[in-house]
Amino acid sequence: MFERTGSVNIDLDNIESIKVVKGGASYLFGEDALSGAVIITTKKGAKNSYSAVGVEAGSFDYLKYLVRGGYSTDKYNFYVQGTQRKSDGYWENGGYDNKYLNSKFQYYIDDTSDITAGIELSDRNKDSHGTVKGVTEAETNPTSAYNGTGDRDYARKFDVQLAKYFLTYAKTINDSSNLLVNVYQYNDDTNFISNPIKYDTTGAKVTDDNAYGTNNDYFQIQRGIKSELRTSGQTFATMLGLDLRDNYYENKTNILQSYCTRMGSTACSNPNNIKTAGTITGNDETDENVYALYGELKYALSNDLVMTGNARYDRITMDYDDTLNSIQIKKTFNVGSYRLGTTYTLTPSSSLYANVSTGFRTPTVSQLFSGDIDPTNTKVESNHALKPEISYNYEIGLRGNTSWFDYDMAVFMIDRKDYIMANVGQYASTDPANPLYTATQYDNIGGMRNKGFELSLNTDRKETFFFDLAYSFIDAKFTQYDNFNLTLGNSYGTYVSTLTNPASQYTIEHYNLTGNVVPRVPKHTLNLSVGYNYNEHLLLTTELNAKSNYYADELNRIEIAGQATLNFLANYTTKIYGYRFEAFGRIDNVLNKFYYNTARASGDANSDGIFDAEDLSITVNPGRVYTAGLSVKF
């Protein structure tokens, strides 16, 4: 499902397994599976129909409570689970309070079929992400405490309410075929504030931490049906799938409090520069329908060689209705995607595999219809001819096992074509002095390529000592990025060709970034976990996370140093009178390393006429964090 807040709000205690499909996975999941997909399966079945209570506490007043009740018989099983997580957070205004209620009921119709019904409800309140401006403030004010001069997050005070309902029917038709049908509806109601106010209606600088200009209310319903019929024989196997979706998205925005969009009392005397509280700035809805048919054919050419082919066809229609401006627009995309793969058994314990696959992403409504949506805004034109972005993924690898460990290694390349970006550059407005860039429009004019190597080694976790290792090398570069516009000075000021007073002026420099390294992608990433089963009750684990240097910006001017952090976990389990007790203690960032969770930059954020590390938007890591907990299962 698509979520506004950029993360999947699933109760972690309700997850059964997490699997990753590498490479373009649109042949299974359709739009937006450009370079892979993460499949999260929640718990079900008689083994998960237990009861439990638990509590956790940790740094920054972190608290978590869990209550769960379950029951099972030969004909059915069910559970209901409630969880709350809350914390004051490390960063100023960084607190959160998340509540989850999950329930799943499974009924065995007969020996060959069952039906599962589930409900997942969540209420997630989260405030600031804790960004600061520049490396100096990251050192002196890592918690992003706002004193009237510091930076503020662009968006804050997220209130996300999710409701997920689903019904799944599974039927084993015979020894070689089965049917799965899933009907679902996901509701997402997200509200947050954005656009921190810089100047009041008189032109005076605003120092109130909570002064934000825009209220955002987003609501969406995603409903659909997905069905798969699988068959198998001695030399072949097939799968035929149907994916039907009826999605609805509603966006509403309004001005929270009056403010001035330009600096200085003279500019603010112009009513065109004043935004008035209560003004509705957006009210639109989009109906999206997806009609997709997909399938798989797996054929054994010999005992050692198996070929697999996947194909999918999507017809996606979007019906956009802007009730504020009385604008109605429709658009349809017809997109195909595929995968071809092969596996060759080298020895009884090793095999060679290779595949090529594609992924796609359709243009957004704003990219397609910018000029139609806001006809009074001459800065951005519509482009109804936009094509979907396409990725081509190539991989060849070797997997197997030895008497000591399992291994999987692969080389890969992901080539992203027809990337959609603004023809005047991604991060700057039109240059008034250059007629070549006066018509801003989104177009399929970008591209990037990731090449690399992945390695995983895993030993048996039941052994006294065990380890899990994952390493990746990625060489990510832009294959097409002809026009990047760097804004220097105050972007709210007056445009000049030569900057003399950056506090009240701005200028734009043009660059061709084709061949540059894609920002925020470290070349080397390593995760190593080493465990020690001290006895049948006590498990000790240490984990190392490391990544190499990376660029924070598309220009490749600002490099962020690599970092490595060490985590430690102790877990103790025992049974007393039939009750299973589990206690744990965890320390993240044991050595209290100072580093950035995120660091990005695109322009002269502090308006000093220079683009450097003081223009970074940074979220500082909280440092050493302690967590401990106790749970009882019965």
pLDDT digits 0-9 by tens, 229-273? 999 988 999 999 999 999 999 999 999 999 998 777 788 988 888
The candidate with the shortest Cα–Cα distance to 371, out of 382, 363, 379, is 382
The structure tokens listed for 19 are 């699997």
pLDDT digits 0-9 by tens, 302-343? 999 999 999 999 999 999 998 887 888 899 999 999 999 999
* The pairing of beta strand 505-511 with beta strand 494-495: parallel
Distances (CA, A) of 630 to 53, 306, 533: 9, 48, 19
What's the rounded Cα separation, in Å, for the pair 239 and 230?
A: 4
Give me the pLDDT at residue 379, please: 63
Give me the pLDDT at residue 13, please: 74
pLDDT digits 0-9 by tens, 46-95? 788 899 999 999 999 999 999 999 999 999 999 999 999 999 999 989 99
What's the rounded Cα separation, in Å, for the pair 611 and 557?
A: 9
**Amino acid in the structure at residue 449:** R
- Express as a percent the part of the chain with pLDDT over 70: 94
pLDDT digits 0-9 by tens, 153-163? 889 999 999 99
Q: How many CB atoms lie within 10 A of CB 500?
A: 10
What mean pLDDT value characterizes the chain?
91
The structure tokens listed for 600 are 């990005």
What's the rounded Cα separation, in Å, for the pair 599 and 110?
A: 55
What's the rounded Cα separation, in Å, for the pair 573 and 538?
A: 7
Give me the pLDDT at residue 386, please: 92
What's the rounded Cα separation, in Å, for the pair 409 and 605?
A: 42
Give me the pLDDT at residue 5, please: 47
pLDDT digits 0-9 by tens, 444-472? 989 999 999 999 999 999 999 999 999 99
* pLDDT greater than 80 at residue 523: yes
**Amino acid in the structure at residue 397:** G
The structure tokens listed for 407 are 């291994």
The structure tokens listed for 113 are 């079929």
Q: How many CB atoms lie within 10 A of CB 444?
A: 19
Give me the pLDDT at residue 471, please: 98
pLDDT digits 0-9 by tens, 422-447? 877 666 555 555 545 455 788 998 99
- Whether residue 631 contacts residue 52, with contact meaning beta carbons closer than 8 Å, is answered with yes
The candidate with the shortest Cα–Cα distance to 533, out of 465, 458, 460, is 465
More confident residue, 615 or 324: 615
- DSSP run (H or E) holding 370: helix 365-373
**Predicted confidence band of residue 376 (pLDDT cuts 50, 70, 90):** low
Give me the pLDDT at residue 431, please: 58
The candidate with the shortest Cα–Cα distance to 414, out of 454, 364, 468, is 454
**DSSP states of 192-204:** EEEEE--B-TTSP
- DSSP run (H or E) holding 469: strand 465-480
Give me the pLDDT at residue 365, please: 86
Give me the pLDDT at residue 9, please: 58
Residues near 378 by Cβ (< 8 Å), separated by ≥ 6?
Answer: none
- Residue 511 DSSP SS3: strand
- Whether residue 435 contacts residue 424, with contact meaning beta carbons closer than 8 Å, is answered with no
Q: At residue 626, what are phi and psi to the nearest 5 degrees? A: -110, 140
The pTM assigned to this predicted structure is 0.88
Distances (CA, A) of 401 to 341, 406, 458: 21, 4, 9
- Whether residue 292 contacts residue 334, with contact meaning beta carbons closer than 8 Å, is answered with no
More confident residue, 614 or 436: 614
More confident residue, 573 or 504: 573
The structure tokens listed for 472 are 């990746």
Give me the pLDDT at residue 6, please: 45
